[in-house]
Structure 1
Amino acid sequence: MARVAIVTDSTAMLPSDLGDAAELITSVPLQVIVDGTSYDDGVEETSPEALLAALAAHKTVTTSRPSPALLAEVYSKLAAQGVEEIVSIHLSAELSATCESSMLAARESPVPVFTVDTRLVGPGVGFAVMAAAAVAGRGGSAAEAREAALERSAATQSYFYVDTLEYLRRGGRIGAAAALLGTALAVKPLLTIEEGRVVPSERVRTADRAIARLQALGVEAGEDADAVDVVVAHLGSPDRAATTAAGVAEQLDGKINGDVRVGVLGAVLGAHVGPGCVAVVVGPQL
């Protein structure tokens, strides 16, 4: 076991093949509550297909942070395995109390815990996790891994399209984008994450134009970088996601690290954006 371990949460959308980083990273599930019954994010009952079915059936779907007790148990187990320091990297504290759970659990941890608020969601959190794991894998300290996570987070840009603002409204995550509610029927909103909050980016008249503009924003986010990681995520919109990924890949050809990764949003994020969402997340390599 390495001296420094990385802990994150199930919203990070980590790549399926973590390589050497796999032994350094522990992921803790958030909770998805469907009609009053709580499930771990990532199990069969909270698969994208199950979430889409629950939303189509008008079931009540809400989410909850991992408890401080669960994170404290994870930290203690890692310490028992010989870990000396932990970097715990999570989605925006403006959108979830997961960072608060981490900080509360850190008080009981037998080893130091550095909590990182990425001020991002989804793949952006994953970029920060991988940056921290790279530092830890080279023998760096927890403070150095934390700094790498923060730098990668600050450089990452996220844009997303939603068919409706209703799911964000229900979950209370709409922030400054609430200003669009009065014109929601007349526009298709493009949103972004700023200072950890969901805010409007642009208003577009049709879904097709919105997806085209989403692709353009992804390209703009990466065009000045020497190399970038790009993830396109969606819920129930594989065709839109594939089109967006192909367009970004073509226009950023030569800059992208590997391929544009296309993934399906998990239930925690999906419950707040709803079917039809497509997101582009661009993280310049530092």
Structure 2
Amino acid sequence: MAVVVVTDSAACLPADMVDELGIAVVPLHVLIGDRAIREGVDRMEIDYCADTVTTSGASSGEMREVYEAALRRSGGDGVVAVHISRQLSGTWESGRQAVRDMDAADKVRLVDSLSAGLGTGLPVLAAARRARGGSPLDIVYDAAVAAAGRARSFILVNRTEQLRKGGRLSSAAAFFGSELVTKPLLQMVAGRLELREKVRTRAKAYAKLVAAAVDAAGEEGAAVGVQHLGAPEAAETVAGQLRELVPAVRELIVGEFGPTLGVHLGTGAVGVLVVPGGCG
């Protein structure tokens, strides 16, 4: 058999990649009033501006169910679970509790991706490709940890009110001030979402976003992800610029932020995720 890689729905990986690589996905939840809806499983229509909409991670019981199924599928070779940053969600902690409750806990390795969206998804791909190639548990785990350590994530949002309300924005960004006349560019730092800089116009903000990604990619090639919420044209424009400006783009994935991230980022958000060296 082979090691099985698990992630959560906040990784936002394309369904065809998930199927091709045999990745198991734990659904996170969008809470609309008193209803809990499973991301990627249940149909949902979301008003991203509504105060009654929030999110929650998976429970330890849900995590354990997926881990045990993945372990059986691996034939005992093991499981590597790569999850959204523990600074942003309780999902990783639920995973740790699930592993403690399992009989074969030594066969399940947890990885904090230190990010979200494709910042989690690209390290998942790095691990899953090693697993598909027949690598043992330690090598698959090391591939995920290494890719997560190299990954850099940058996000341009219209407003930060939803992030602050949900506690996803570092206190270091509490001085935003006159946010209506600026465009905040955020970045992931050690698993936390922090302010990188404020830009006066959206055009300049996109230029800063692209420049940050190009600088992070380096000269040796990189895997790149571009994500958006309700801004497909902007995402395609950014992706086109990165194809031209990043030397030797090894792969480029363009997609949407899923609902559990969209609730906090708001409509119009565009993010770029870069893994120098790629996820091969």
Same fold (TM over 0.5): yes
Q: Given that residues 85 and 116 in structure 2 are in contact (C-alpha distance below 8 angstroms), is that contact kept between their aligned partners in structure 1?
A: yes
Deviations 1:24-59 (A, max 9, x none): x1011001101221100124533xxx23xx125x35
Moved more, 268-277 or 76-85: 76-85
1:282 aligns with 2:245: no
Given that 1:176 and 1:198 are in contact with CA atoms closer than 8 Å, whether structure 2 keeps it comes out as no
* CA 20–13 in structure 1, closer or farther in 2 if over 3 Å, else same: closer
Residue pairs, 1:37-186, within 5 angstroms:
37-43=35-41, 45-46=43-44, 50-51=45-46, 54-56=47-49, 58=50, 60-81=52-73, 82-111=75-104, 112-186=107-181
> Closer, same or farther in 2 for the Cα pair 1:17/1:45, shift >3 Å?
closer
* 1:10 partnered with 2:9: yes
What is the CA-CA distance between 1:85 and the residue it aligns to? Answer: 1.2
Distance 1:86 1:229, change over 3 A: same
Consecutive unaligned residues of structure 2, counting only runs of 5 or more, are: none
SS at match of 2:16: coil
Note closer, same or farther for the CA distance 1:19–1:183 as it changes in structure 2 (3 Å cut): closer
Superposition deviation, residue 256 in structure 1: 0.8
| Residue 191 of structure 2 corresponds to residue 193 of structure 1 | no
Q: Given the two structures, how large is their TM-score scaled by the length of structure 2?
A: 0.92
* Cα shift at 1:94: 0.5
Q: Does 1:242 align with 2:240?
A: no
Deviations 1:138-197 (A, max 9, x none): 222222211111110111111111000011012111113532332322321100000100
Which whole-Å deviations, capped at 9, do the CAs of 1:258-279 have from their partners, x for residues lacking one? 4x32211100010111011000
Distance 2:6 2:121 in 1: 11
Q: Distance in 2 between matches of 1:164 and 1:146?
A: 36
RMSD: 1.8
State the secondary structure of the residue aligned to 2:255.
strand
How many aligned positions are there?
275
- Spell out, residue by residue over 1:213-266, the C-alpha distance to the aligned partner (whole angstroms, 9 max, x if none): 1112122221x23221111100011121111111111112x51124x3221110
> Within 2, Cα distance between the matches of 1:79 and 1:158?
31
Q: In 2 relative to 1, CA 31–19 (structure 1 residues): closer, same or farther, beyond 3 Å? A: closer
State the percentage of identical aligned residues: 37
Contact 1:93 1:100 in 2 (8 A): yes
The answer on whether the counterparts of 1:5 and 1:83 sit within 8 Å (CA) in structure 2 is: no
> Quick check: 2:18–2:24 contact (8 Å CA) kept in 1?
no
1:230 aligns with 2:224: yes
Letter in 2 for 1:269: L
